[in-house]
A and B are shown apart, each in its own frame.
Chain A
Amino acid sequence: MSLKFGILGLLAEQPLHGYDVKNRFESLLGGSWEVNFGQVYSTLQRLERDGLIEADGERGDRGKLAYRLTASGRKTLVDWLSRPESEPQQLREEIYVKLLLNTRLADGRLDDMLKAQRRVYMQRLKDLAELEQRARRERRDDLVLLFKGAILHTEADLKWTDACAEEIRNSNRKGGKAK
């Protein structure tokens, strides 16, 4: 997602200082993203320049400035919220490229590579389950959803590794080579 819409969404609730924006964003994502303050600040400036947010009152103590959403900003946010996501799917490109290259370079390494990757996914499932439970205990329903999503993605990654292994086995059985 883009920082721009995250900020618009936070300001839709109430006017905030740049520092509050950063903190709320971090808390919204349950620490799953460390926000760079410089990035937040430059995005705020750009949003102000584009007329999507504006200063809320005068510059306060130590030059702190609170921002609020403009009507145009609210419209932009609502449009974005109602649009389904249609960006190309992001695949875990690195593992995919490794697999392709390993297939071409050295057949013997494929099984080990898939096995090692599989173990990473299994441990990730355990970690995510623990995070989901923690979020549930802390009544962070929004984070529960985030972790559920991550679990489903990891399950898909795992199935994909298994499907790759199966293709390779079938191909070896037929005496062919995975190309």
Chain B
Amino acid sequence: MTRLVELIDVRKVYDGGAQHPALNGISLGVERGEFLAVMGPSGSGKSTLLNVVAGLDRPTSGRVLVDGRDLGRAGEAELARYRRSGVGFVFQFFNLLGSLTVLENVMVAAQLAGSGTAAARQRARELLAQLGIADQSGRYPARLSGGQQQRVAIARALVNQPLMLLADEPTGALDSRSGDQVMELLVELNRGGQTVLLVTHDAKLAARYAGRVVSLVDGRVADDVVLQPSTARAAEVVRVRVEEVAG
């Protein structure tokens, strides 16, 4: 089976930015079922990378293949279809619609992708239950905590059974406890087979939750490392220095 995502020498230059391409020759593969973190300082190109993979931006040159589909050559209609159901987006600030209830926020994403109302409602209910927020279905987003809102956003991202979940700093607006819970949820979804692409500037977050970390610098891949599941004993990782005082 081919890789889910294959970027081949991708460049992205925004208007007037020829001196500093946002992406400057990126080649990168993502396997199905991977939990990949993309790291880098602001301006390193990580959000552009996500946008290119999500079909929101077309590469200036190079190829972006997702599930065998060449996004650079896809027509607008095909690209729009791919954006609606091929990828699920989770943002830092949730981006929920304030005038719709939790259930409607999730349903509307399914309906936009062509689901009938009944099917959309059923799928939305299942997901909200799976994510532990079924009891919030009838409420409006503003009444929910940040962590709950992000769960709704994740349910919405999953409603069309996307090929991959794209999470751009999903814990950036959360306190560390709800942030951890959201990340644990992404890990759980990944264990169930969901491919996850996490974009973050936070090395701790990337190392802790992802199996592989790609670091971008100036629009290039500076490093690409597979982390080993941790089985280390404390003494192998950290030592408190204890000195015998002479005298």
Contacts and interface: CB of A to CB of B under 8 A. Distances in A.
B203 A158 contact: yes
Contacts of B234: 30-32, 131, 143
Given A32-B238, A131-B237, A155 B203 contact: yes
B3 interface: no
Interface residues of A: mostly helix, strand, loop or mixed? helix
B242 A2 contact: yes
Interface string A148-163: 0011000100100010
B113 interface: no
Interface string A1-42: 111101000000000000000000100011111110001001
Nearest to A149: B238
Nearest to A35: B242
A46 interface: yes
B245 A126 contact: no
Question: On chain B, which size bracket covers the interface?
Answer: 20 to 34
A1 B242 contact: yes
Contacts of A169: 217-218
Interface in A83-129: 90, 115, 118-119, 121-129
A6 B231 CA distance: 28
Interface in B216-247: 217-218, 222-223, 225, 227-228, 230-245, 247
B208 interface: yes
A129 B230 contact: yes
A146 interface: yes
Contacts of B233: 31
Contact of B232 (A2, A35, A130): A130
Contacts of A25: 242
A125 B237 CA distance: 9
Contacts of B208: 125-126, 129
Contacts of A151: 204
B201 to A, nearest CB: 11
A43 interface: yes
A126 B227 contact: yes
A147 interface: yes
A6 B243 CA distance: 10
Interface string B190-203: 00000000000001
A121 B218 CA distance: 21
Interface of B: 41, 203-204, 206-208, 213, 215, 217-218, 222-223, 225, 227-228, 230-245, 247
- 10 A-B pairs with the lowest CB-CB distances in the bound complex, closest first: A125-B207, A130-B230, A129-B208, A127-B230, A127-B232, A150-B238, A31-B234, A126-B207, A32-B234, A127-B237
Interface of A: 1-4, 6, 25, 29-35, 39, 42-43, 46, 90, 115, 118-119, 121-131, 143, 146-147, 150-151, 155, 158, 162, 165, 169
14 contacts: A2-B243, A3-B243, A3-B244, A4-B244, A6-B242, A30-B234, A32-B234, A42-B244, A115-B223, A122-B206, A125-B208, A127-B230, A129-B207, A131-B230
Given A118-B223, A129-B230, 18 more contacts: A1-B242, A3-B245, A4-B244, A31-B235, A32-B237, A33-B239, A35-B242, A42-B244, A43-B244, A115-B222, A115-B223, A119-B225, A121-B203, A122-B225, A125-B204, A130-B230, A131-B230, A131-B232
